[in-house]
Amino acid sequence: MDDLPLQKIQISGPTLASLLQRFSSSPGDVDGLLFGRVTHIAATTFADDDPTTTVAASSSFDSPTLIATITSFICSNSNSTFYDSAGRLNLLSLRRICSDNQTLSLLGWFSGRRKTPLRPSMRESAVTSSLSSKIQFAFQVENSPKSYTLSPCVFLLLTTPFHDQLIHTHEYRAYQFRLSTEFFEPKTLDVVNIGPAFRGHYGAFCPNSQFPMLPCELRVSSSMAEDGNCESESLKSMKRVSEDQRVLDMYAEDFDVGRLNRLIGSDAANYTGELEDMYKKMLAKLEGLARLVEKSSARVLEQENHNMKLRCRVAGLE
Amino acid sequence: MAIDTVPPLIAAQLNYLLSHSPLPIKVEQMWSGSKNHGLLDRFTLVIPFCLDYIRWDVIYNALYPLAAPDIIFGPEDESFRPYYAAGEEGDLKSPKNSMSDWNCKDPTRLLSLILELRELYMTYQRKRVGEVEDERLKFELSTIVSREGIEMYMSSGIEKTEEVKFALPLLGVDINKMVTGCPWRQKQKIFLQVIFPVGRKYMSTPSAPRLKLVASPELKALFSIEDFRLPSWLDGMCMAEYLPILEGLLQSQIVDAVSSIDVRRKFIVALAPLFGRPVEADPVFCRKAAFLTSSGVFTFLVHFSLPLQFPKQQPGLMLQSSQHFNPSGAPVKSPVITEFPWSPRWESSEMAERFFDYLVEECLNFKKYCNESLLQQR
């Protein structure tokens, strides 16, 4: 594992907004994990001097410019989810949470606590130092000419101002924990938003949910019916077709797999119309998923209220 | 309207800490960390350390009562990691500490946690002081390290100059035992606070440190720390030389202070044949006495307050009527009288007689004063 400094930490606007919303709507303190990627930015140093004085270039090679980008997070509405009171990690639950996010690396974690000073606490220091020393969560730096691995060393701290203010409601600071010095180095947190000014930043972003690879040429199964030998083959092809349809149904609502071949090749005269149609169906699918999420959220809320009552009873607050 | 309450489990632990702590720990403020502001689950503890105070924020979560609290240390102590050597869960090597098996129902836990952390903090400060690159400090440290009960503190900051502060307990003798009938529950302690500036560059004559004596507050009934003049720190002195001188002086003055109790007691006893038995008197330190006496039908109280420097310093005298009251119902009192015949060279019996003669005259003035004040009220 390499102990390299990050130049800065980026987070997308919606992710930060979502994080702040989870924090402000939770009744108590929250914590969770941060996912994303670390990319290497090639530092361009153009020197007019002769090539023998490329010492400067090689030194920039030794300390590469790394930028961490936070693209998603997992937040549990409580604290101490993957560690215990003494700050020791619960590796089992950590692995379980991380297994759902295979494409993204675990960059670090965050903690939100109301009306407290904006500096790491005793337990947060212990958890961060434990987390950043775990080799099994180390990940590769992307876009890098040399191979670098980093451990999850990013810590994002969210608090609220001590006295209720109308000017700002939240404060946050991002740190990188350096193993060599055991020091929390504050880093600037850049918020990347949509818009023409930020287009260049989106180079570090790539889709989490890519459209699946599906065949666009499909033989209609009825032409196979005459050839008895091809019965087993037609069964196989039917199975494959239904499999592909099932995959497509995950992304679009009621879009027949057979229409895909109208998007390319000789039948693609009406391809814009077909694409728009598919897009409409994809949006419909999203709407359906959103409704499902709403329903399950309501049930989660019910359960959480029930849990809260039990907790209050244990605390003797009734 | 939400009334701010402290959740019962947290209140139990905090109350236990405040009532059973060997050190005077105080709570500076309490506030709520939950969304509806009713439950107070966070507070700042002010903990004495090295004759100063450190402030730690204790963060509980009212909605998660089973969880252990978290502590946020001061802004200068970022590198203080008390439980750093934590391994993985189930790791046999990780040391057991107050946090590992937290029992929220046990009220003693918070106090033991805070005391444990304070010990670790002391070790951390000791390490920091030991790492300072100052030859003179290293030498001083080596001479006093064998003393028990020393606390040291390294203060550094952007605006402040780096300083190292030592709190040295003085006088191994138990002052409580020297006073007969001593009412103090805790042992009285006197500390010398020594503050050295950290000087990186070599100075031919190192500057004297700042010195201050600090004593537990109850000691002032017997001995005044403020009036004690510290011996001067000569050039080129070190703590190992200075401390014995200081302790010798302090010891002799404390012995004098204890014997002066008897002088004051003699005086009070000498007053008794003339004024009668005192209504109230301080039997241990003999700092004050009150007598009920009368002149004709006018009955009044005489209050004597004896300073620590008695008989060099004269006592304070105050008269209080038992028959005249001001509008709020309190008895009329005279201002403190200082103009009376007095000489420290008199015997206590003569002092008593002189007071008696003086008061025979003075009480008539006081009676007039009381009657006038009553007339003014009407």
Phi, psi (degrees; rounded to nearest 5) at A205: -95, 140
Average pLDDT for B242-260: 87
- CB-based contact B72 A129, cutoff 8 Å: no
What is the structure's pLDDT at B176?
79
Q: Give the pair of three-digit tokens for residue A137.
A: 């969560």
Distance of CA B93 to the CA centre of its chain: 43
Please give, rounded to a whole number of angstroms, the shortest distance from the CA of B11 to a CA of chain A.
11
Domain count, chain B: 3
Q: Where are the beta strands (DSSP E) in chain A?
A: 8-12, 30-41, 65-76, 105-113, 139-140, 149-150, 154-159, 171-178, 183-187, 189-192
How far A13 CA sits from the closest chain B CA (Å)?
Answer: 24
Which of B216, B164, B228 minimizes the C-alpha distance to B195?
B164
The confidence score (pLDDT) of residue B378 equals 67
Among residues 248-287 of chain B, which lie with CB inside 8 Å of chain A?
none
Q: What is the mean pLDDT of chain B?
A: 83
Per-residue pLDDT band for A232 (boundaries 50, 70, 90) equals low
Higher pLDDT, B121 or A199: B121
Contact across the interface for B100 and A126, Cβ inside 8 Å: no
Q: For B32, name the nearest residue in chain A, comparing CA atoms only.
A: A115
Q: Which of residues B156 and A161 earns the better pLDDT score?
A: A161
* C-alpha distance from A264 to closest chain B C-alpha (Å): 55
Q: For A19-67, how does the pLDDT look when each residue is reduced to its tens digit (9 = 90+)?
A: 999 898 888 888 999 998 888 887 666 656 555 444 444 444 457 788 8
Contact assessment for residue A106 and residue A137, using Cβ atoms and an 8 Å cutoff: yes
pLDDT value at position B83?
A: 75
> What is the pLDDT, as a whole number, of residue B23?
85
Contacts of A115 in chain B (CB under 8 A): 31-33, 42
Q: Are residues B361 and B298 in the same domain?
A: yes
Task: Calculate mean pLDDT across residues B72-98.
Answer: 67
Report pLDDT digits (tens) over B101-127.
788 888 888 999 999 999 999 888 888
Please tell me which residue, A226 or B19, carries the higher pLDDT value: B19
Please tell me whether residues B255 and B302 are part of one structural domain.
Answer: no
Dist. CA A279–CA B267, nearest whole Å: 105
DSSP-assigned letters across all residues of A135-202: GGG-EEPBT-SS--EE---EEEEEE--SS--SS---EEEEEEEETTTTEEEEE-EEEE-SSGGGGGGG
Q: Are residues B142 and B113 in the same domain?
A: no
Residues B249 and B300 in one domain: no
Give A150 to chain B, closest Cα distance, Å: 20
Average pLDDT over residues B281-303: 88
**Mean pLDDT of all residues belonging to chain A:** 80
Name the E strands within B238-335.
280-281, 288-295, 298-305, 316-325, 331-333
User: What residue ranges do the domains of chain A occupy?
Assistant: 8-201, 237-314
Contact A315 B82 (CB under 8 A): no
Q: Is residue B254 over pLDDT 80?
A: yes
B49 lies in some domain: yes
Chain A residues closer than 8 Å to B8 by CB? 315-317
Same domain? B215 vs B306: no
Q: Which two tokens stand for residue A24?
A: 């402000």
Helix and strand totals (H; E) in chain A: 6, 10
Query: What CATH class is the domain A8-201?
Result: alpha beta
For an interface test with B, which of A114, A160, A308 has the most B Cβ atoms less than 10 Å from its Cβ? A114
Least confident of A86-100, A114-128, A222-236, B227-241: A222-236
Query: Does the beta-carbon distance from B62 to A315 stay under 8 Å?
Result: yes
Q: What count of CB pairs under 8 Å joins A to B?
A: 125
Residue A223 scores a pLDDT above 50: no
In a domain, B220, yes or no: yes
Instruction: Give residue B58's pLDDT band: very low, low, confident or very high (50, 70, 90).
Output: very high
Interface with A, mutate which of B37, B54, B89 (most A CBs under 10 A): B89
Same domain, B112 and B181: no
Tell me the pLDDT band of B71, cut-offs 50, 70 and 90: very high
Q: What is the pLDDT of residue B6?
A: 86
Instruction: Mutate one of A21, A82, A85 to test the B interface: name it (highest B CB count within 10 A).
Output: A85
Closest residue in chain A to residue B102, using alpha carbons only: A85
Of B32, B59, B75, the CB nearest to A121: B59
- Contact (Cβ atoms closer than 8 angstroms) between residue A87 and residue B102: no
Q: How confident is the model at residue B84 (pLDDT cuts 50, 70, 90)?
A: low
Q: Which residues of B touch A28 (CB under 8 A)?
A: 33-35, 61-64
User: Measuring CA to CA, which residue among B259, B248, B265, B91 is closest to residue B170?
Assistant: B248
CB contact under 8 A, B35 and A312: no
Q: Report CA torsion sign: B257, B259, B263, B265.
A: positive
Chain A contacts to B (CB-CB under 8 A): 25-29, 78-80, 84-91, 113-117, 119-126, 129-130, 162, 182-184, 308, 311-312, 314-317
Question: Which of B57, B62, B91 faces A116 most closely, judged by CB atoms?
Answer: B57
Boundaries of domain holding B48: 3-87+97-126
pLDDT of residue B89: 46
Shortest CA distance from B84: residue in chain A = A126
Contact B88 A129 (CB under 8 A): no
Q: What is the pLDDT of residue B194?
A: 85
User: Which of B75, B76, B81 is CA-nearest to residue B97?
Assistant: B81
Whether the bond into A207 is cis, omega within 30 of 0: no
**By the 8 A CB rule, do B153 and B165 touch?**
yes
| Residue A88 scores a pLDDT above 70 | yes
Q: Name the more confident of A234 and B50.
A: B50
pLDDT over threshold 70, residue B310? yes
Q: Is the domain of B148 the same as that of B82?
A: no
> Has residue B326 got a pLDDT over 90?
no
- Contact of B239 with chain A, judged by CB distance below 8 Å, is answered with no
Reduced to 3 states (helix: H, G, I; strand: E, B; else coil), residue B146 is: coil
Interchain CB distance below 8 Å, A115 and B32: yes
pLDDT at B138 over 50: yes
**Inter-chain CB proximity A184 and B72 less than 8 Å:** no
With an 8 Å Cβ cutoff, is B66 touching chain A? yes
Banded pLDDT at B2 (limits 50, 70, 90): very low
| The token pair that represents A72 in the structure block | 């998603």
Is residue A70 predicted with pLDDT exceeding 80? yes
Q: Are residues B239 and B315 in the same domain?
A: no
Which residues, listed in sequence order, are joined to residue B196 by a DSSP beta bridge?
B164
The rounded distance, in Å, linking the Cα atoms of B299 and B331 is 12
* pLDDT at position A139: 85
